[in-house]
């Protein structure tokens, strides 16, 4: 090995020795770092290997148990409450109103006095007509007596036959006059009765449109008040025309089809009645047929022109599998539910749904009663996900057994 020379020509052995020492020191530091890294990796790797594979977190969900129960099948429609009878009380004679004894909004009975018109002009007209009738009846009787005399004399050839015939015609004229007078009397009696306006049927009277002292006229179309019969009352609601044949079949079989009137939200029953009739033609614009249900309405819950949700009970499915509607999920491929297994995993099960009622839906195929289904949290799941199940609060539908 050759040693380097310094500037003054002497060998530089000390500089070469220091460089070697520095290289060895660097190598030792790097080697120690590698050993530390390898030891750390080996230590923590063994700890990780001792712990095994990482367990995925469980998804919290709410579950319910599929039950065996009954589901009612309904035909539904937005209905309008319609009074069984509605009448606008109009004056039939002209006159001054003496009294209006009813109170607005009152329930009235058939025959109750609603308005009293001044009867005196019509009482006078009736008296005149009766007087005219009495006079003409007397003239008729006199003519009949004379005719009998003339008939005897004519048979004895004491008078001409023409005189007897003239007397017969006079009797017939008086008979016609009496019939005319009787009609006038009857008309006067009717007009007099019209001054005493009564309720044509039992119902609720509306707002008063006239006051005592007003003069009413027969051409007046505004009326005095409107009365509606509310007990019983009807609900008219449209049903798709495709459902009409099955309903008509039940009607012909003399079946009584229950109808319920529900509030606007559809979660409360206002009244229960029965189907009364079906319209005789379909609406070409909507493709529906109007059905009419009748209700006793004893508590007055329904009132005319009120909007309700009406539903007609067609049949009841017994012993079907029932789950909450929130358990059923939908995708482009169809409908499915997540079933929770014993190992607390959610399995996707394709199902075929049937009719629904309220927040319950029937399942035709896919699951059986007793299986646990996810009703909340399904959007976070996929097939095989681990779940942390919490039971749903007991429902009040009463559909499951």
- Give the per-residue pLDDT at 338: 93
Residue 279: CATH number of its domain: 2.40.30.170
Q: Tell whether 281 and 366 lie within a shared domain.
A: no
Phi, psi dihedrals of residue 329, rounded to the nearest 5°: -105, 155
Residues 6+ apart with CB under 8 A from 376: 61, 62, 326, 392
Residue 4 covered by a domain? no
- The low-confidence residues of the chain, meaning pLDDT below 50, are 1-10, 12-15, 46-50, 396-398, 401
CA torsion sign, 283 to 232 to 308 to 275? Answer: negative
- Give the per-residue pLDDT at 387: 87
Q: Tell whether 95 and 221 lie within a shared domain.
A: yes
- Give the per-residue pLDDT at 50: 47
Q: How many CA atoms does the CB half-sphere of 361 hold within 13 Å? A: 19
- Among 316, 336, 364, where does a domain finish? 316
Q: Tell whether 263 and 306 lie within a shared domain.
A: yes
Q: Tell whether 166 and 254 lie within a shared domain.
A: no
Q: How many domains does the chain have?
A: 4
The whole-angstrom separation of Cα 117 and Cα 91 is 9
Q: Tell whether 270 and 372 lie within a shared domain.
A: no
pLDDT in tens, 58-84: 889 899 999 999 999 999 999 999 999
- Give the per-residue pLDDT at 383: 87
- Give the per-residue pLDDT at 8: 47
Q: Tell whether 121 and 156 lie within a shared domain.
A: yes
- Give the per-residue pLDDT at 222: 85
- Give the per-residue pLDDT at 267: 82
Residue 107 covered by a domain? yes
Of 379, 390, 391, 399, the closest CA to residue 329 belongs to: 379
Residue 7 covered by a domain? no
- Give the per-residue pLDDT at 40: 57
- Give the per-residue pLDDT at 343: 84
Q: Tell whether 66 and 104 lie within a shared domain.
A: no
- Among 316, 335, 366, where does a domain finish? 316
Residue 178 covered by a domain? yes
Residue 346: CATH number of its domain: 2.40.420.20
Of 221, 223, 219, the closest CA to residue 210 belongs to: 223
- Give the per-residue pLDDT at 7: 45
Q: Tell whether 215 and 276 lie within a shared domain.
A: no
Q: How far is CA 135 from the centre of its chain?
A: 66
Residue 398 covered by a domain? no
Q: Tell whether 339 and 356 lie within a shared domain.
A: yes
Q: Which residue(s) pair with 331 in the sheet?
A: 334
Residue 125: CATH number of its domain: 2.40.50.100
The whole model's pTM is what?
0.67
- Give the per-residue pLDDT at 163: 92
Q: Tell whether 154 and 172 lie within a shared domain.
A: yes
Q: Tell whether 43 and 168 lie within a shared domain.
A: no
The boundaries of the domain holding residue 253 are 74-84+228-316
Residue 260 covered by a domain? yes
Residue 167 covered by a domain? yes
- Among 316, 344, 368, where does a domain finish? 316
Residue 55 covered by a domain? no
Q: Tell whether 111 and 187 lie within a shared domain.
A: yes
């Amino acid at each position: 090995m050759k040693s380097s020379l310094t500037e003054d020509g002497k060998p530089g052995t000390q500089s070469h020795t220091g460089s070697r020492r520095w290289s060895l020191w660097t190598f030792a530091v790097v080697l120690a770092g590698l050993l530390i890294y390898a030891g750390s990796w080996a230590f923590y790797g063994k700890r990780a290997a001792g712990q095994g594979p990482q367990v995925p977190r469980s998804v919290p969900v709410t579950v319910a148990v599929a039950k065996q129960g009954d589901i009612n099948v309904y035909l539904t429609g937005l209905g309008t409450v319609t009074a069984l009878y509605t009448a606008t009380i109009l004056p039939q004679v002209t006159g001054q109103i003496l009294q209006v004894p009813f109170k607005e909004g009152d329930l009235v009975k058939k025959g109750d006095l609603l308005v009293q018109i001044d009867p005196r002009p019509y009482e006078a007209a009736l008296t005149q007509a009766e007087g005219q009738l009495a006079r003409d009846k007397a003239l008729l009787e006199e003519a009949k007596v004379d005719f009998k005399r003339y008939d005897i004399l004519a048979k004895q050839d004491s008078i001409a036959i023409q005189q007897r015939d003239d007397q017969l015609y006079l009797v017939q004229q008086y008979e016609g006059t009496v019939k005319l007078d009787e009609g006038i009397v009857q008309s006067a009696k009717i007009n007099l009765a019209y001054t005493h306006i009564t309720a044509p049927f039992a119902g609720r009277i509306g707002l008063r449109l006239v006051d005592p002292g007003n003069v009413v006229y027969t051409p007046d179309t505004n009326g005095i008040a409107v009365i509606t019969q509310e007990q019983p009352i009807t609900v008219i609601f449209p049903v798709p025309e495709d459902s009409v044949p099955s309903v008509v079949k039940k009607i012909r079989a003399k079946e009584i089809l229950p109808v319920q009137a529900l509030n606007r939200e559809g979660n409360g029953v206002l009244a229960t009645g029965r189907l009364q009739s079906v319209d005789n033609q379909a609406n070409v614009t909507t493709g529906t047929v109007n059905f009419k249900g009748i209700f006793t309405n004893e508590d007055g819950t329904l009132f005319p022109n009120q909007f309700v949700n009406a539903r007609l009970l067609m049949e009841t499915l017994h012993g079907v599998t029932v789950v909450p509607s929130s358990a059923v999920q939908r995708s482009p491929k169809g409908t499915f539910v997540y079933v929770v297994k014993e190992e607390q995993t959610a399995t996707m099960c394709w199902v075929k749904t049937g009719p629904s009622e309220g927040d319950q839906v029937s399942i035709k195929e896919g699951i059986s009663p007793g299986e646990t289904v996810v009703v909340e949290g399904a959007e976070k799941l996929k097939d095989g996900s681990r779940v942390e199940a919490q039971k749903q609060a007991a429902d009040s539908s009463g559909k499951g057994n």
